[in-house]
């Protein structure tokens, strides 16, 4: 059994209510922080913990906090990014739905550390029912004196606002989220300036993911060093992994960073193996945007060592043989999955979700989708494959925000590792377009 930090009490009946959460030790971290610590010492603990942003980018949270500008007389904001929309990722949804108070407690601690008196939780609009759960939890926390003016006599004021999105993946990008929160279209901003200097309402702002913020109560209670002791190297602590696809037990799992990919897929504690009678073909390990890897490369590094569920191990080998931990959206495919169809599907997603602001992404995502659609539907030609690689390359790195990269990587990696499958689709259009037809050529299944 691995250490549980976020989901320790997930099975306690009524954990979504204040009373039960409190009985399980909830809000003791708020008491500790506000009564015995200074904002700076909270920041220090989070830095020591080495938590890396759990939304996908993996940027050290403590460092992000320490970048926050603190000009005199200007309000500072903390905004929680609960716009979880990356295909394959549903951990924040799960966490907020089941233990809303954990996020609220984390928001109070984080806001205190950053000196924010009004903080926002931006939840994707589709999760309106979760918004209602959070609003109820906020009302309970307020009634218990953990929100509002002069919290527990500490002199610290905090108000939490839950903001619904309107249906736009791009608002998971932090500056698009801020634009959206200001009541505008979710167009990512040009950077610099970064939100730490000019964020919400042009004031210094920190944007953190739900899971990141939810680690702070444990860190305050147990210390940053204790958190850093979990995991391996720079991948400290635990991570929520959203497991989906062709596995026996899809769901959200909290793992100590450092378990092997093989154990994660096959152990009963987690995914419980590939569904009966099938074999592992490929995995998209960190949400739809990260490179897809074939079975042998997701289980093992290029040198034959076991690949681990850490930021470093998953990215070992660069994009040639590696991928990324990303948001932890772990999508497993067995041999019945068609990589071409799946790539087209993801490509359609990014095409649909591009904000349309900058030209490489606006035009390039649509172009890739159309070409992939053609290949999938039996109208491709062999030069389309190289065309896709080139278009992806021309988008990557040239856009305002990372959506361009997110759209380019799945296409580039699918062709890198499954080129034969693309060629088969093109050379055998009749066969390939039969319902349920899947490439059965040479490939390593595990």
Partner 1 sequence: MTTETNAKIEFTPERQVLAKEIIARYPEGKQKSALLPLLHLAQEQWGWTSPEVMDYVAGLLSIEPVEVYEVATFYTMFHLDPVGKHVIEYCRTGPCCLMGAEDVYAHLKQKLGIDAGQTTPDGKFTLKEVECLAACGMGPVFQIREQYYMHLTNQRVDEIIEELSK
Partner 2 sequence: MEDNKPQLVKVTVDGIEVEVEPGTTILQAARKIGPEVAPPAMCYYQPLKGSGGKCRACLVKVAAGSAKDPRPMPKLVASCITPVQDGMVVENTTSPQVLEARKGVVEFLLINHPLDCPVCDQAGECDLQNFAFEHGAAKTRYEEERRTFDKHDLGPYIQLHMTRCILCYRCVFTADQITNKRVHGVMNRGDHAEISTYIEKAIDNDFSGNVIDVCPVGALTDKTYRFKNRVWFSRPVDAHRDCPTCSGNVTLWYRGEEVIRVTARKNEWNEVKEFICNTCRFETKKTSDWVIEGPTKIARSSVITANKYRADTVKPDFVSRIAAANYKPIDDARDTSQLSIQQLPPERFANSN
Distance CA 388, CA 132 (A): 43
Helix, strand or coil, per DSSP, at residue 38: coil
Return the CA Rg of the chain. 22
Mention every residue, 6+ apart, whose C-beta is less than 8 A from residue 352.
none
Q: What is the sign of the dihedral through the CA atoms of 307, 312, 317 and 320?
A: positive
Number of residues that bind partner 1 (CB under 8 A): 56
What H or E segment, with its residue span, contains residue 332?
strand 329-334
148 is a site residue for partner 1 (CB under 8 A): no
Which option in partner 1, partner 2, none does residue 364 bind, with CB closer than 5 to 8 A by kind?
A: partner 2
Member of 367, 409, 422, 439 binding partner 2 (CB under 8 A): 367
Burial group, residue 437, by CB count within 10 angstroms (0-12, 13-18, 19+):
middle
Tokens of 334: 């067995």
172 is a site residue for partner 2 (CB under 8 A): no
Which one of the spans 179-187, 209-217, 255-263, 385-393 is the region binding partner 1 (CB under 8 A)? Answer: 179-187
Q: What is the sign of the dihedral through the CA atoms of 332, 264, 63 and 171?
A: positive
Nearest to 85 by CA among 127, 48, 52: 127
346 is a site residue for partner 1 (CB under 8 A): yes
Which option in partner 1, partner 2, none does residue 110 bind, with CB closer than 5 to 8 A by kind?
A: none
Member of 240, 295, 331, 371 binding partner 1 (CB under 8 A): 331
Distance CA 81, CA 93 (A): 12
CB 368, min distance to partner 2, A: 10
Smaller CB separation from partner 2, 159 or 384? 384
CB 77, min distance to partner 2, A: 21
267 is a site residue for partner 1 (CB under 8 A): no
25 is a site residue for partner 1 (CB under 8 A): no
249 is a site residue for partner 2 (CB under 8 A): no
370 is a site residue for partner 2 (CB under 8 A): yes
* Residue whose token pair is 């009963």: 268
Smaller CB separation from partner 1, 38 or 336? 336
> Are the beta carbons of 139 and 99 closer than 8 angstroms?
no
48 is a site residue for partner 2 (CB under 8 A): no
Member of 26, 50, 58, 165 binding partner 1 (CB under 8 A): 165
Smaller CB separation from partner 2, 45 or 179? 179
201 is a site residue for partner 1 (CB under 8 A): yes
210 is a site residue for partner 2 (CB under 8 A): no
Distance CA 231, CA 235 (A): 6
Task: Classify residue 289 by its DSSP letter.
Answer: T
Burial group, residue 71, by CB count within 10 angstroms (0-12, 13-18, 19+):
exposed
Number of residues that bind partner 2 (CB under 8 A): 30
Distance CA 371, CA 145 (A): 57
Binding site for partner 1 (CB under 8 A): 75, 84-90, 92-93, 118, 124-129, 132, 161, 163-169, 180-186, 201, 242-246, 250-252, 284, 288, 329, 331, 333, 337, 341-342, 345-346, 349, 352-353, 355
Binding site for partner 2 (CB under 8 A): 168, 185, 190, 192, 351-360, 362-367, 370-371, 374, 387, 394-395, 397-400
């Amino acid at each position: 059994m691995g250490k549980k930090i976020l989901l320790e009490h997930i099975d306690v009946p009524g954990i979504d209510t204040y009373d039960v959460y409190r009985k399980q030790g909830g809000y003791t971290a708020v008491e500790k922080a506000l009564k015995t610590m200074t904002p700076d010492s909270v920041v220090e603990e989070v830095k020591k913990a080495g938590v890396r942003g759990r939304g996908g980018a993996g940027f050290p949270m403590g460092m992000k906090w320490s970048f926050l500008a603190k000009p005199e007389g200007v309000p500072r904001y903390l905004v929680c990014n609960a716009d979880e929309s990356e295909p394959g990722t549903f951990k924040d949804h799960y966490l907020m739905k089941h233990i809303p108070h954990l996020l609220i407690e984390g928001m109070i601690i984080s806001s205190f550390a950053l000196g924010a008196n009004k903080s926002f939780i931006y939840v994707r609009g589709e999760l309106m029912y979760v918004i209602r759960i959070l609003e109820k939890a906020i009302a309970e926390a307020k009634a218990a004196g953990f929100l509002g003016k002069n919290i527990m006599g500490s002199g610290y004021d905090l108000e939490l606002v839950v903001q619904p999105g309107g249906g736009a993946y791009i608002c998971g990008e932090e500056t698009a989220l801020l634009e959206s929160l200001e009541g505008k279209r979710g167009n990512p901003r040009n950077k610099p300036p970064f939100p730490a200097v000019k964020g919400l309402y042009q004031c210094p702002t920190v944007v953190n993911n739900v899971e990141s913020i939810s680690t702070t109560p444990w860190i305050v209670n147990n210390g940053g060093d204790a958190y850093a002791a979990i995991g391996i190297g720079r991948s400290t602590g635990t991570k929520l992994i959203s497991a989906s696809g062709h596995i026996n037990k899809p769901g959200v799992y909290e793992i100590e960073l450092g378990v092997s990919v093989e154990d994660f897929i096959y152990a009963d504690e987690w995914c419980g193996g590939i569904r009966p009678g099938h074999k592992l073909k490929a995995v998209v390990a960190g949400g739809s945007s990260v490179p897809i890897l074939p079975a042998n490369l997701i289980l093992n590094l290029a040198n034959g060592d076991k690949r681990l569920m850490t930021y470093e191990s998953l990215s070992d080998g660069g994009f040639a043989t590696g991928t990324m931990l990303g948001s932890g959206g772990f999508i497993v495919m067995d041999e019945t999955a068609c990589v071409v169809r799946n790539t087209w599907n993801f490509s359609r997603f990014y095409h649909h979700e591009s904000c349309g602001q900058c030209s490489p992404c606006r035009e390039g995502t649509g172009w890739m989708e159309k070409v992939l659609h053609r290949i999938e539907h039996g109208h491709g030609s062999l030069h389309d494959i190289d065309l896709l690689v080139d278009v992806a390359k021309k988008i990557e790195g040239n856009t305002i925000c990372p959506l361009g990269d997110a759209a380019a990587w799945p296409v580039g990696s699918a062709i890198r590792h499954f080129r034969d499958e693309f060629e088969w689709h093109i050379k055998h259009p009749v066969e390939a377009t039969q319902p349920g037809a899947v490439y059965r050529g040479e490939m390593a299944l595990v």
